[in-house]
Amino acid sequence: MTTQTTTETQAPATPKAPKALSYATLGGAVLSFASTFLAWTWTAEFPGNLTVDGYPGGLQLLTLTGALLTAVLVLGGLGIPGLRWATPGGKYASVRLMALATFATTWFTVIAIAVELGGLVNLEPGAWLAAVATALTVALSFALPREAEPTGTSGWATFAAFFKAPAPAAAKELPSWAEILLIAVAFGIGLLAFTYGIGTEGAEDFLGFLLLIGFGVAALNKSGLSRRLTGLTVKHKNVTVTAAFVSAFAFPFTQTSDAYTSVGTNILIFATVALGLNIVVGLAGLLDLGYVAFLGVGAYTAALVSGSPNSPFDVHVPFWAAVLLGALASLIFGVIIGAPTLRLHGDYLAIVTLGFGEIFRIGMQNLDGTSGPDITNGPNGIPNIPDLEMFGFNFGESHTVLGVELGRFSNYYLLMLLVTIVVVLVFRRSDQSRIGRAWVAIREDETAARAMGINAFRLKLLAFALGATLAGLAGTVQAHVTYTVTPAQYKFVESMPPNSAFLLAAVILGGMGTVSGPLIGAALLYLIPAKLQFMADYQLLLFGIALVLLMRFRPEGLVADRRKQLEFKETGQLDTPKGDIGLSKAGV
Amino acid sequence: MTTSTNPAPATTPVLDANGVIMRFGGLTAVNNVSLQVNAGEIVGLIGPNGAGKTTFFNCLTGLYVPTEGTVSYKDKVLPPRSHLVTQAGIARTFQNIRLFANMTVLENVLVGRHTRTKEGLWSALLRGPGFKKAERESHEAAMELLEFTGLAHKRDHLARNLPYGEQRKLEIARALASQPGLLLLDEPTAGMNPQETQAAQELVFAIRDQGIAVLVIEHDMRFIFNLCDRVAVLVRGEKLVEGTPDVVQADERVVAAYLGTPFEGAPGDEEVAEVRAAEAKAADGATSTTSKPRTEEEGDTE
């Protein structure tokens, strides 16, 4: 294997794999593909129906997708006309990763069948075929030449070189309608993947899905496709934003029941709040560990004026007024907390905001009539918040739109989507302005920013207050979605989002300073605990491990922001050239 | 360029630091320093390491609150708040370059324009015609400055990825973006080679020709004496001498401050010869060859 690569990689440009090897890999992929049409087990006890000969089902669909993509990448690498677009970047690294994705999902499935049903006897020949075929594909893919020389002689460096891929060449100009169509298709695929992920039934399906997505996305990165797509989205910014919202808008229409739209609604609430936090953390660089309190302020305000029979105020203001009140209350709360604490920096600010977050929760707990005035019913919170009704449209009832029945959660999902659009707009517009630049400058170097005439305290307070207002806005909707507002919903950390720790994690996991980062991060951080209920006891442990791994291997988050992208675009030169300084020292 | 070193008959002081004292606990870093900078003048501030030059700069720009004394800009006393000082019209660079490393070159300069633009959050959110006009003007002004400093072709690079000399230039461009009447440069040529130093000198003259007064701290004496109309020497927190480069260069106290005073029993010629002979005897062999190139190099670099 290695001898072959060394002879092949004489030319440093792009080593070519022997055709036979590529076709063998292709054969492996085709075999894996075929295996999904066979039965993998004999009983339907295993989630998803894997017992049918003739068509794939359940987890087999994932293997099928993986195998298909592997085949496409191999063919792209072979330069088959019509498929060359698939691998503008790494021809072989992408195949390796895609083969690994298929392998991981398939073996996970096979092992899960054996473990859950109690033994290897439960595997039908189809499963054996799938396991062997995917393993074979991986083995063959590793025989394909490396596209980069290892950086060292250590085992790790040799291994890592298998996954290094050259950057794609500049894309050919396409007519703009074709580019826009590509963006639309990409978002369509994204929506499809999201709907599949949200609709997975068992933890097995979801884990298999995560494995495929994880390795698959890495493969697409290596193949250069995602770089191409990013290029397109940057070029057609408005189209991209529109496409994103159209696919988000389409989501409830793809659902047959309200079960998964409720998940979608909660993800949207979580994601919107995370995006608000991104202004504070990602742009202005203020580490806020008590951010969920602002969501609570908005929710409590909306609950108090919602006309709930359990609210001490016997008022029922229209929703738009409740939204304004909630946002205003959060704004005031934000300024009150921000004004004294923003004189602190870094860790100190984090600790103080953490404290204020807890003070809010405990304060709400104590306004129960015994420890303080009776406003919030203490730990019981404010239940029976009525459903919204606007222009005769009751959010609590099902409506049929375009032949699709939209249940309660679909209604709230669409309302929440409006709030998300507002927050995205606020984020984007404030980021790309004098104010946003000043925030980033403060984050980068506060002393220098002040020396450039920036009133750092005032701008930090503005970021803090704006973030608080946006969270309050989301809170007013959340109060109606959940029917009940209790202090326990607004803890620093618990096993279900949104809470301060998860919000911060969503921002950091997704990518600070970006719009899509927190949205993706929030979706993952909501779905993973929700789908993997069987691991509930270890959830925080896994969460911690995941964060540590992320910080080690991808500190910029899943989506790198514009500036970080730039950092990678240039030649990886990290600091000023050292030779220059040494030379000039002699001249002084 | 150098021909225009007129002594600037204009007597209007741009900067007037009056009796500035800065104490850190028991240490008096700057002791009763007064300094004036007139319009269109380039003034140098020199002194040995630890003399309090940068501390004095920080007092001028509001990063430190002086224990005593006032700083006024065009007859207005400045509040010791850094952003208000910049707003008034004093911009500065830092000794250890402090760019916004993860912002692009253009963005760095745009940040410098912060005080000269007013568009707030609402204007940014609503994106009215006023906002667009202001952004366009800011971009044009920033690009003009980048052309001026020769960085226009690197507008979209991250500041951290610029070579050292260009980072210094960018810092100056960023400072100029705030349209200052006085520019404070803290060691602008530190770590530069002779060509770069020469270019920096041209740049400072060009800035002065735009009507901006410059106060510069520097250790490179040739640079300072070529550049400045007036030089002040700071030693142990106190102003020792102030005057034209010739006056300062000739002043014995300045030489003493840098090199130390010769003590009473200075070694005579014969003693020096004695030591040399002893050294030569001891180092007879390979060791002497290693020391030779070093002395040559020292002679080259003064």
Residue pLDDT, tens place only, B168-199: 999 999 999 999 999 999 988 888 888 888 98
How close, in Å, is residue B277 to chain A by CA atoms? 30
Residue A64: the pLDDT is 81
Q: Do B124 and A454 touch (CB under 8 A)?
A: no
Query: For the CA atoms of B277, B279, B285, B287, what is the dihedral angle to 10 degrees?
Result: -150
How close, in Å, is residue B157 to chain A by CA atoms? 7
Q: Do B160 and A429 touch (CB under 8 A)?
A: no
**Residue B291 pLDDT greater than 50, yes or no:** no
Among candidates B61, B102, B165 on the partner chain, residue whose Cβ is nearest the Cβ of A451: B61
Residue A400: which H helix or E strand, with range? strand A399-401
Among candidates B99, B103, B161 on the partner chain, residue whose Cβ is nearest the Cβ of A570: B161
Q: Which two tokens stand for residue A311?
A: 């609210």
**A153 touches B at CB < 8 Å:** no
Q: Do B124 and A436 touch (CB under 8 A)?
A: yes
**Residue B301 pLDDT greater than 70, yes or no:** no
**Residue B204 pLDDT greater than 80, yes or no:** yes
Sheet containing B42-46: order of strands: B90-92, B182-186, B213-217, B42-46, B230-235, B238-243
Q: Do B101 and A444 touch (CB under 8 A)?
A: yes
**A238 touches B at CB < 8 Å:** no
Q: Do B86 and A583 touch (CB under 8 A)?
A: no
**Chain A hits for B162, Cβ within 8 Å:** 576
For chain A, what are the domain ranges?
Answer: 12-235, 259-394+402-530+537-569
For the domain spanning B1-89+180-261, the CATH number is 3.40.50.300
Residue A572: the pLDDT is 41
The ipTM of this complex is 0.81
At residue B91, what is the residue type? A
What's the burial of B189, exposed, middle or buried (CB within 10 Å: 0-12/13-18/19+)? buried
**Chain A hits for B86, Cβ within 8 Å:** 451-453
How close, in Å, is residue A438 to chain B by CA atoms? 6
Q: pLDDT (tens digit, 9 = 90+) per residue, B32-41?
A: 899 999 988 9
Q: Which residues of chain A have pLDDT under 70?
A: 1-15, 17, 48, 52-54, 170-171, 561-588
Task: Report how far residue A330's alpha carbon sits from residue A328's, in angstroms, rounded to the nearest whole number.
Answer: 5
- For tokens 């389409």, the residue is A250
Residue A274: the pLDDT is 92
**Residue B276 pLDDT greater than 60, yes or no:** yes
Per DSSP, the residues of A295-310 read HHHHHHHHHHTBT-TT
Task: Report how far residue A250's alpha carbon sits from residue A563's, in angstroms, rounded to the nearest whole number.
Answer: 31
Helix axes A539-553, A500-510, angle to 10 degrees: 30
Residue A263 three-state SS: helix
Which residues lie across from A41 on neighbouring strands?
A123
Q: pLDDT (tens digit, 9 = 90+) per residue, B211-229?
A: 999 999 988 888 898 899 9
SS3 of B27-75: EEEEEEEEEEEECCCEEEEECCCCCCHHHHHHHHCCCCCCCEEEEEECC
**Residue B21 pLDDT greater than 60, yes or no:** yes
The whole-number average pLDDT for the span B115-135 is 86
Residue A398: the pLDDT is 77
Residue A583: the pLDDT is 30
Q: Do B127 and A429 touch (CB under 8 A)?
A: yes
Q: Cα A169 from chain centroid?
A: 28
**Chain A hits for B80, Cβ within 8 Å:** none
Residue A571: the pLDDT is 42
Is residue B241 within 8 A of residue B46, CB to CB? The reply is no
Among candidates B86, B102, B196 on the partner chain, residue whose Cβ is nearest the Cβ of A451: B86
Task: Report how far residue B183's alpha carbon sits from residue B214's, in angstroms, rounded to the nearest whole number.
Answer: 5
Q: Which two tokens stand for residue A236?
A: 């057609």
- For tokens 């980072």, the residue is B167
Q: Which two tokens stand for residue A124?
A: 């039908």
Please, which residues have CB within 8 angstroms of residue B289's CB and are 6 or more apart in sequence? Answer: none
Q: Do B102 and A574 touch (CB under 8 A)?
A: no
Among candidates A445, A566, A587 on the partner chain, residue whose Cβ is nearest the Cβ of B100: A445
Task: Report how far residue B33's alpha carbon sits from residue B96's, in angstroms, rounded to the nearest whole number.
Answer: 24
- For tokens 């709040």, the residue is A273
**Chain B hits for A454, Cβ within 8 Å:** 83, 111, 114-115
**A67 touches B at CB < 8 Å:** no
**Chain A hits for B158, Cβ within 8 Å:** 563, 566-567, 570
Interface of A with B in 537-566 (CB under 8 A): 563-564, 566
Q: Where are the alpha helices (DSSP H) in chain B?
A: 53-60, 82-88, 105-112, 121-126, 129-149, 164-176, 194-209, 221-227, 245-250, 252-259, 269-282, 286-301
Interface of B with A in 180-199 (CB under 8 A): 191-194, 196-197
Residue B262: the pLDDT is 65
Strands B230-235 and B238-243: antiparallel
The CATH class given to the A259-394+402-530+537-569 domain equals mainly alpha
For chain B, what are the domain ranges?
Answer: 1-89+180-261, 269-301
